[in-house]
Structure 1
Amino acid sequence: MENNNLEFLKKNLKFLGFGTSLNAALEAKVSERQEFFKIGVSADFNSRQKDGSQGRDKVNYELNFSRSSKPYHYFLDSVKVTLNDQIQNTFSYGKGNDVTAKEAYNLLRGASIHKKAILNRQMDNKLLTSGEVGQVKEGSGEKIESIWIKLDFEKLNEQGNFSYKKFYPDYGFNLEPELSRFPIKELVNAQEREMLISSLGRGNTQMATLETGHSVMIEVDPENKKIQFYDMDFKKLDVLPSLSQELGR
């Protein structure tokens, strides 16, 4: 049972984007059989500065594990993420639809990510996530929705972490049809289209090619219901929608 738990933890960390580099530390900590333990790791990400220059963001992750009521059965409880030693937030895990290491970084830099989740609209400070549709009880105010979330840096929850801004489907932003309005080459090929939409949904700044042949960078801004384009120097671009798409609306 202990070995099964260890293998599950390793697979979970790999799925969340931490790779296999933490496996040795994880094995050592689990073998100590403490009630709680932590593992730290750092990562660097390419970033664009406000002046358009290329830079690097440093992110520190502190992974917090807890032991459940089962003997020597551990789970990832939360991850404290610190960006450039300036801003940090602790993300809760174990609800079934957790943010990845890259998504946590994107959230801290102000981006929005797209998630399928069980949500309770009355609970402003807590994002509930789960893969178990049957757990939603009638009259509980909870339902499964596909939403955009971003951190609200002006509002803290009871745990001292940033609250979420949540943009539901009825907010009026739908990535795929909005993206389809623009002359983007990657939208023609089904596989490239899926990869582009998936990457943008994870909060990434994604490179794409216009039908004119020009390379651009794209970011999604659900809060303002728009797609933002940049040139390769990261200066904002005004890209007009395709005429044929606009006429068909």
Structure 2
Amino acid sequence: MAGKVTIALNEQLINMGFEKAINEAVGFGLKGVDDFHIALYQRQKDEFLQYALFFHTNSKKEIKLVEVELEITSIAIPEKTIGGLDIKELEARLYKSEGLNVLSPASRMDAPKKDITFSAISDLGQLYSHSKEGKAAAELLMFKFNQHLGIGFSPIDFAFVRQHVSTVTINGKDLIGLTATQMHQNLQNFHYSKQQNNDQSQLKTKNMNSENLQYLSDNIKYMGFGENLKEALEKNMKEGKAEFQLQFATEFGNKPFEATLNFKKSENTGNYFFNSYNASLERSSGEKMEQTFYINKGKGITSKEAFNLLDGRAVHKDLVNKENVPYKAWLQLDFENKDKHNNFEIKPYYEKHGYDLKEAVGKFAIAELKDPDKERALIASLMKGNVQSVTIEKDGSSHKMFIEANPKDKIVNLFDSNMKVVQKEAVGKYQSVAPSTTQAVAVKNDEVQDKKKDLKPDNKQEKAKTQKNNDSLLPKKRESNKKGLGVK
């Protein structure tokens, strides 16, 4: 069913100065598109304004304006001649080729306009390669006209973007009575103040820093906490709290998993950071396991990886040490020991430990290993600490089984279709090769103590050797005050 532009929306768009968007909104409504956005552009002297209008169709099939985003790009081009090229004249030709009408959607260029454009871009290339001064001037022009000429310039230096681009987003009740001119004036005041002072000044309006909000929203989503926390995140950030927490709850395999996400405001920049989260898992036995996981530059242990760690499995991660040198390791929680912060100690198994997951999995007659894509997916899932379903084909029969990584014993653990542990004497019939003197699979007992008894060495000499090797895997005593492992 088609969405409709109501009289109220029609009047709202006219009053805001976005009457050019009405026909496009009607078109989207006729096509039955429930959520869409319309981009409008405006050039004012050295400013390029880009409005993004976001619409949503409600259950009554009425189209509503739910959010407006304004981005200002302001670049003043120097008045000088470089390599025989008048920079301002070149800017005028680029502007002419852009050919945008005030607050109108971008249109395709006709043939004459293409000739003008190609000539201007050719001169722009000459300017760029002429000298260091020419390159700097060309970069300003390229960035200024990149949006619609497709010059393909993307500045690497984020400070360059911060200096010339500012964005504000208005949504909800804040849209009532707002006009495009008011948005422009408010953002313009902030933008030029930022250019003059070159500092971290925030836009002192009812609207928060949209970049910071979007970054944190994306970060939360990337860490596995979904998108339902965005509204609460925005509310707390708008209130300007020095620090706050958000609550998350879900289930993994019918096991309740909860997390408290910790956010703190920087005293220097005013930006908020997602620093850590406190996770808890209620295991099948009813025991509640808790651990704090730290976030390093937006990266760390995801929620599902935290669940797997608290459930007793190992997770493979890319890490960085305190000298910022990257390395890889399997991580597993030591439920027998806690640190001074009441966290379980982390047992790392480094590459020198010699655990080859692919080799350990390959000792079983697993059907998924015959398909390279399925094999990669299987290994990737096991590296995240998941219990993975597999099909084992042996002697003309197919068996649905489950496996998990066991880096400590350099093997994989095997379970039947009911997640019951496969006993030692039954393991051989699922292997593609005969078991060697080194056991090919770890068989978990129902209790940890039973497993320890099964793996206990028979003589004191072997026991001492094993203890020495295990000690070498423990984390060295830290000299810094920082908590946790850095995750790349």
Compute the TM-score of the two structures, normalised by the length of structure 1: 0.81
CA distance in 2, matches of 1:95, 1:226: 33
| C-alpha deviation, 1:95, in angstroms | 4.3
2:334 is the counterpart of 1:152? yes
Equivalent residue letter for 1:227: V
Mapping 1:42-53, distance limit 5 Å: 42-46=249-253
Identify unmatched segments of 5+ residues in structure 1.
Answer: 47-55, 121-134, 137-142
Aligned to 2:409: 224
Report Cα offsets for 1:7-53 as digits up to 9, x if no partner: 0001111111111111111111111111100000111111xxxxxxx
Aligned to 2:261: 63
| C-alpha deviation, 1:87, in angstroms | 1.8
Runs of 4+ in 1 over 6 A off after TM superposition: none
Mapping 1:16-55, distance limit 5 Å: 16-46=223-253
Q: Which has the higher contact order (CA 8 A, sep 6+)?
A: 1
CA contact (8 A) 1:97 1:117 kept: no
Alignment partner for residue 75 of structure 1, among 273, 276, 290? 273
Mapping 1:77-92, distance limit 5 Å: 77-84=275-282, 86-92=288-294
Aligned to 1:51: none
Equivalent residue letter for 1:195: A
Report Cα offsets for 1:99-136 as digits up to 9, x if no partner: 1101111111111000111236xxxxxxxxxxxxxx63
CA distance in 2, matches of 1:218, 1:66: 40
Aligned to 1:241: 431
| C-alpha deviation, 1:244, in angstroms | 9.3
CA contact (8 A) 1:75 1:94 kept: no
The number of residues matched between the two structures is 217
Between the aligned residues of both structures, percent identity stands at 32
CA distance in 2, matches of 1:172, 1:96: 30
Identify unmatched segments of 5+ residues in structure 2.
Answer: 1-201, 203-208, 437-488
Question: Normalized per residue, which structure has more helix?
Answer: 2
CA distance in 2, matches of 1:113, 1:76: 22
SS at match of 2:393: coil
Compute the TM-score of the two structures, normalised by the length of structure 2: 0.42
- Pair member with larger Rg: 2
SS at match of 1:193: helix
SS at match of 2:348: strand
CA distance in 2, matches of 1:190, 1:68: 46
SS at match of 2:321: strand
Aligned to 1:126: none
Question: Normalized per residue, which structure has more strand?
Answer: 1
Aligned to 2:370: 188
CA contact (8 A) 2:274 2:298 kept: no
SS at match of 1:21: coil
| C-alpha deviation, 1:211, in angstroms | 2.2
| C-alpha deviation, 1:96, in angstroms | 5.2
Report Cα offsets for 1:189-231 as digits up to 9, x if no partner: 1111111111111111110111232110111111122111111
Equivalent residue letter for 1:112: A
